[in-house]
A and B are shown apart, each in its own frame.
Chain A
Amino acid sequence: MDSKSKSHETAINISETESNKGKSTAAATIVATTKAIPHNQKGGWRRGVAIFDFILRLCGLVAALAAATTMGTTDETLPLFTQFFQFEASYDDLPAFSYFVVANAIASGYLVLSLPFSIVCIVRPHLVGARLVLLILDTVMVAFTTAGAAAAAAIVYLAHNGNSTTQWQAICQQFGDFCQQVSGAVVASFIAAVIFIFLVIFSALSLRRH
């Protein structure tokens, strides 16, 4: 395949020097060499990176979906009640948890929609526009997911430890199952955020031009 490309190169060079006398031949040869390199020789590592990107997207989808569903299905009712207090805890009692569920649901939806784009990037490794769009949206999703995960983590830390200055009680001592489920969901969301950062790096790596 190398000799084939080389013969391609020389053929183009000769026709260039014959027809264009006023233009510089150095630029012409540069144009000729970039046009002569066959695509699948340069696209090898790019395709590998694109395949790994696709696999990572599937993992991120699993993580974000798990986080959203784990948080969304929290509902613990303690077996005691008084006239004034209802000892029931679910995710929509705290707005930070509601935002968490929404953010992770949006992240999972985005990952599902970006799977076809990723497949297109595997099939055609030299597309720049699609990769740029994926990189920007991945960066926005990093911010989104990290925001949801961190807000929920702050509330979970407060629920575990309480705070003496503000006189906020640690509710995990009462709602044990609720706390466990919520903590697991926060961990899954942080994993999804880290996967998004890796997706950004892979998209940046495959944007390189040689």
Chain B
Amino acid sequence: MKAGALELGHASKVTATVPQKGVNRGMSILDLFLRIIVIIATLGSAIAMGTTNETLPFFTQFIRFRAKYSDLPTFTFFVVANAIVSAYLVLSLGMSIFHIMRSRAQASRIALIFFDAAMMALLTAGASASAAIVYLAHKGNTKANWFPICQQYDSFCHRTSGSLVGSFIGIIIFILLVLFSAVALSRR
């Protein structure tokens, strides 16, 4: 009876290891592909926010009606965070290719999960802080007496709002990346 049960167990192990390795490799390839998409998204966001520069066609003696991303420290943090995340992703492409070749690597997958989670937190911080400021620029706030500047700086507002989209797409894909790494880690 013991030999029979072991026979069944043995058979299931033999048939299970071959497609498992294939699924692992497929997920690693998908991981690489998604990483390239996030690089494009975050780099696009950083460049879109970094090249904002709008000057209104009138000025007085005291006030210059010009808006750049560096006028708001939150937007500066957004550009820096997106740049750091893009650089990290370019460096982690090598690690991802290594995982395609060696599906059994464990310590490097755990390190990748940790860095992916940390970079996702950085990206989320930059994106949501900028989202709060963009919302304020669109709507203003009556209690704090903050005026909605989008009514004056139209193209600046459009550009900053649009650059948020790439960042948020990057966040969602990062969650998928962590999921794929974890599933690949738990299967053998």
Which one of B66, B135, B146 has the greatest number of beta carbons of chain A within 10 Å? B146
Q: Flag B157-186 by CB within 8 Å of A: 1 or 0 each.
A: 000000000000001001100110111011
Q: Which residues of chain A are near B100, meaning CB under 8 Å?
A: none
Q: In chain A, residues 55-101, which have Cβ atoms closer than 8 Å to a Cβ of chain B? A: 88-89, 93-96
Q: In chain A, residues 150-173, which have Cβ atoms closer than 8 Å to a Cβ of chain B? A: 150-155, 157-159, 163-169, 171
Pair B146/A193 contact, Cβ less than 8 Å: no
Q: Which residue of B lies closest to A135 (CB)?
A: B182
Q: Which residue of B lies closest to A200 (CB)?
A: B117
Q: Say yes or no for A20: interface residue by CB 8 A criterion.
A: yes
SS class, residues of chain B in contact with chain A: helix
Q: Say yes or no for A32: interface residue by CB 8 A criterion.
A: yes
Pair A207/B185 contact, Cβ less than 8 Å: yes
Pair B121/A193 contact, Cβ less than 8 Å: yes
Q: Say yes or no for A125: interface residue by CB 8 A criterion.
A: no
Given contacts A166-B147, A168-B147, A200-B178, contact A20 B7 (CB under 8 A): yes
B58 CB to closest chain A CB (Å) equals 16
Q: Say yes or no for A191: interface residue by CB 8 A criterion.
A: no
Number of residue pairs A-B, CB distance < 8 angstroms? 161
Q: Flag B21-55 by CB within 8 Å of A: 1 or 0 each.
A: 00000000000000000000000000000000000
SS class, residues of chain A in contact with chain B: helix
Q: In chain A, residues 106-135, which have Cβ atoms closer than 8 Å to a Cβ of chain B? A: 128, 131-132, 135
A140 to B12, CA, bound (A): 34
Q: Which residues of chain A are near B124, meaning CB under 8 Å?
A: 142-143, 146-147, 150
Give the number of chain A interface residues (Cβ < 8 Å): 58
Q: Say yes or no for B85: interface residue by CB 8 A criterion.
A: no
A174 to B149, CA, bound (A): 23
Given contacts A89-B143, A143-B171, A150-B124, contact A204 B6 (CB under 8 A): no
A45 CB to closest chain B CB (Å) equals 14
Given contacts A94-B141, A204-B113, contact A146 B74 (CB under 8 A): no
Q: Which residues of chain B are near A157, meaning CB under 8 Å?
A: 73-74
Given contacts A31-B9, A165-B71, contact A94 B144 (CB under 8 A): yes
Q: Which residue of A lies closest to B122 (CB)?
A: A146
Give the number of chain B interface residues (Cβ < 8 Å): 54
Pair A171/B144 contact, Cβ less than 8 Å: yes
Q: Which residues of chain A are near B144, meaning CB under 8 Å?
A: 93-94, 159, 168-169, 171
A209 to B67, CA, bound (A): 54
Pair B117/A165 contact, Cβ less than 8 Å: no
Q: Which residues of chain B are near A187, meaning CB under 8 Å?
A: none
Q: Which residues of chain B are near A204, meaning CB under 8 Å?
A: 109-110, 113-114, 181-182, 185
Pair A146/B125 contact, Cβ less than 8 Å: yes
By Cβ-Cβ distance, the 8 closest A-B pairs, closest first, are: A154-B129, A147-B128, A150-B125, A151-B132, A165-B71, A93-B143, A150-B129, A96-B132
Which residue numbers of A lie inside 8 Å of B, CB to CB?
Answer: 12, 15-16, 18-20, 23, 27-28, 31-32, 35, 88-89, 93-96, 128, 131-132, 135-136, 139-140, 142-143, 146-155, 157-159, 163-169, 171, 193, 197, 200-201, 203-205, 207-209
Contacts beyond the supplied A135-B182, A146-B121: 11 A-B pairs with Cβ under 8 Å: A12-B6, A135-B178, A136-B175, A142-B121, A150-B124, A150-B126, A154-B74, A166-B71, A166-B147, A201-B110, A208-B106
Which residue numbers of B lie inside 8 Å of A, CB to CB?
Answer: 2-3, 6-7, 9-10, 13-14, 66-67, 71-74, 106, 109-110, 113-114, 117-118, 120-121, 124-133, 135-137, 141, 143-147, 149, 171, 174-175, 178-179, 181-183, 185-186, 188
